Amino acid sequence: MPATPNNVPEPSRTDPALIRNFCIIAHIDHGKSTLADRMLQLTGVVEQRQMRAQYLDRMDIERERGITIKSQAVRLPWAPTHDKTDTHILNMIDTPGHVDFTYEVSRSLAACEGTILLVDAAQGIEAQTLANLYLAMENDLKIIPVLNKIDLPAAQPEKFSEELANLIGCDPEEVLKVSAKTGMGVEALLDRVVEQIPAPVGVKDAPARAMIFDSVYDSYRGVVTYVRVVDGQLNKRERIRMMSTGATHELLEIGTNSPEMLAADGLGVGEVGYLITGVKDVRQSKVGDTITSLHNGATEALGGYKDPKPMVFSGLYPLDGSDYPELRDALDKLQLNDAALVYEPETSAALGFGFRVGFLGLLHLDVIRERLEREFGLDLIATAPNVVYRVDMEDGSEHVVTNPSEFPEGKIDKVYEPVVRATILAPSEFIGSIMELCQTRRGVLLGMDYLSEDRVEIRYTLPLAEIVFDFFDQLKSKTRGYASLDYEPTGEQTANLVKVDILLHGDKVDAFSAITHRDAAYAYGVRLVAKLRELIPRQAFEVPIQAAIGSRVIARETIRAIRKDVLAKCYGGDISRKRKLLEKQKEGKKRMKMVGSVEVPQEAFIAVLSSDESGGKAKK
């Protein structure tokens, strides 16, 4: 009979030999959350009637999009089928699946001894599966290969077992076949976890060392920190120290998740649980940091801590300038739960007061923007996303550029841009179109391997800036949706990059400045200038629209002059009607932004900034 929360052994007394710490790695939509749900049900920690889909994905936006953003840990008691008296503790750490959150995935992996590699039996291995598998291998984790969704008529278990077995070097027979939906094979999988994943090893009497693998802000309790104890033990009420910052806190509460929080006296070697110290901001309890006791604490931190580094920047401006204070409050609130989110105030001549916000990647940007709009009711304009450039000047000075309009003028020696190593998986019939796309994005081919007869893995080095601009959408449309993409930052390269400015009647419109490769600058200029000509109404005077690199104009259009006399049709004396028309004209003008002497309708900014070519919305 499955165990219930009542017979879960006391956390601090669990023998490490009975603990198994594991996670599930999978490509987006391959069924990780559904499998986690089934495990919660089978181990009895969530009663049938309380069960709801994706129990562990708490954020509304996660549930709606069906993606996992923050990882969670849950303690599952499981007595293997062959010996029901021998209850083990399985700590399942749910990990986010998206490239933007790779650092969180790698921290979750570091908290485990093994992983379930879950692959959709109708889709096969995807880029994300590979990326996560390599991370797991680097962490020396025991890998349990599993095919999910075998209930689907389109499932091809033989073909994909073979593919998986080739990849990790095992027998195709060893690949477990389950249906997370119906529950078929999931008990056998839990047994396999107990059998094959090694128990944690740590030194019981050593000074305490625990790794933070997640940190979540809760509006009632402050920051809840998820840890894996490696050595020693942490006890309720003791004072602890964060090893990266030296900050000390009192352990107000410590316990495990089953999946709701269950307080305990402490956590010992190999255990996974949560702690609460009363800190109010996740940046004080950072993923990857090591916690130790204040008295007789450890001197050496567990390896692998790094600060999250924003890779993509975008300007966020309220549509209605008076919403600026609300936008600031909303960003402050989101930052409490997101150590990777950075922002600073920025003013734009065209868009007014706003913020320059740094994100881990495009999905992160999209999620934050959507939360600002949905949870805080803000209407926003976002400028096209850009990466971070480093510019060396001939006079020896160096600039870091996070906003294209701040690209330095004058004698530039070298410009560096971030590059990534991208892995694309697709059916082999699309090799030609994928290579063509990567070439036009300044890609350099690194290599290509066949995973099976008809599926290939293609590796490229690409400038991050080229991926930020609708690369994924293009890839999907060129491969009829079959390709998957993953990438990791690999440093920077010098490139022939220039800033293109857009001028209206001689005045620069900062929101439209872009940094592009010199070869692409002309096309960008022509496209933007043509688009603006369509969107900006005629004014009382002639307005030239120009695209320029420095002082050199590379494209030009002209809006001809017109005087719009709203009273033209109102001859005769009806003064009240005339007043009404003038009032109406005034209202319309409020929605205009003045750029120098030119009135630009707000819609023009939105139309240009939200168009696909200028970055568009990030997709998963």
Residues flagged as binding site for GTP: 29-34, 148-151
Residue 29 touches ligand GTP, criterion: CB under 6 A: yes
Residue 33 touches ligand GTP, criterion: CB under 6 A: yes
Q: Find the part of the chain contacting ligand GTP (CB under 6 A) among 144-152, 250-258, 371-379, 602-610.
A: 144-152
Identify which of residues 213 and 313 has a Cβ nearer to ligand GTP in the complex. Answer: 213
Q: How far is the CB of 162 from ligand GTP (least distance, A)?
A: 20
Out of 25, 56, 67, 503, which residue is the one contacting ligand GTP (CB under 6 A)? 67
Q: Find the part of the chain contacting ligand GTP (CB under 6 A) among 66-74, 284-292, 493-501, 582-590.
A: 66-74
Q: How far is the CB of 26 from ligand GTP (least distance, A)?
A: 5
Identify which of residues 254 and 368 has a Cβ nearer to ligand GTP in the complex. Answer: 368
Out of 12, 19, 21, 30, which residue is the one contacting ligand GTP (CB under 6 A)? 30
Out of 3, 23, 25, 28, which residue is the one contacting ligand GTP (CB under 6 A)? 28
Out of 3, 8, 19, 26, which residue is the one contacting ligand GTP (CB under 6 A)? 26
Residue 225 touches ligand GTP, criterion: CB under 6 A: no
Q: How far is the CB of 593 from ligand GTP (least distance, A)?
A: 39
Residue 268 touches ligand GTP, criterion: CB under 6 A: no
- Contact status, residue 581 vs residue 566, Cβ threshold 8 Å: yes
Q: Find the part of the chain contacting ligand GTP (CB under 6 A) among 146-154, 275-283, 477-485, 507-515.
A: 146-154
The tokens describing 99, both together, are: 């490239």
Identify which of residues 70 and 369 has a Cβ nearer to ligand GTP in the complex. Answer: 70
Q: Find the part of the chain contacting ligand GTP (CB under 6 A) among 28-36, 70-78, 420-428, 527-535.
A: 28-36
| 485 beta partners | 424
What spatial distance separates the first Cα and last Cα of the chain, rounded to whole Å? Answer: 40
- 176 Cβ contact partners less than 8 Å away, ≥ 6 residues apart: 144, 145, 146, 147, 185, 188, 189, 192
Cis peptide before 385 (omega within 30 of 0): no
Identify which of residues 185 and 318 has a Cβ nearer to ligand GTP in the complex. Answer: 185
Out of 47, 151, 250, 534, which residue is the one contacting ligand GTP (CB under 6 A)? 151
**Whole-angstrom Cα distance, residue 590 to residue 522?**
34
The beta-carbon contacts of 363-370 under 8 Å, at least 24 apart in sequence, are 363/98, 363/99, 363/100, 363/618, 363/620, 364/100, 364/101, 364/312, 364/340, 365/312, 365/314, 365/618, 366/617, 366/618, 366/619, 367/61, 367/69, 368/334, 368/338, 368/341, 369/316, 370/61
Q: Which residues are annotated as a binding site?
A: 29-34, 148-151
- Contact status, residue 569 vs residue 518, Cβ threshold 8 Å: no
In the chain, the largest separation of any two C-alpha atoms, in whole Å, equals: 99
Residue 364 touches ligand GTP, criterion: CB under 6 A: no
Binding mask 79-118 for ligand GTP (x = CB under 6 A): ------------------x---------------------
Task: Give the residue from 406, 335, 326 showing the smallest Cα distance to 364.
Answer: 335
Number of residues that bind ligand GTP (CB under 6 A): 19
Q: What is the 3-state secondary structure (H, E, C) of 510-555?
A: HHHCEEEEHHHHHHHHHHHHHHHHHHCCCCCCCEEEEEEECCEEEE
* Touching ligand GTP, residues 400-459 (CB under 6 A): none
Query: β-strands 352-359, 290-293: how paired?
Result: unpaired
Out of 159, 181, 478, 556, which residue is the one contacting ligand GTP (CB under 6 A)? 181
DSSP string over 578-607 = HHHHHHHHHHHHHTEEEETTEEEEHHHHHH
Out of 34, 43, 284, 383, which residue is the one contacting ligand GTP (CB under 6 A)? 34
Neighbours of 429 (CB within 10 A): 12
The amino acid occupying position 496 is N
Q: Which residues bind ligand GTP (CB under 6 A)?
A: 26, 28-34, 66-68, 97, 148-149, 151-152, 179-181
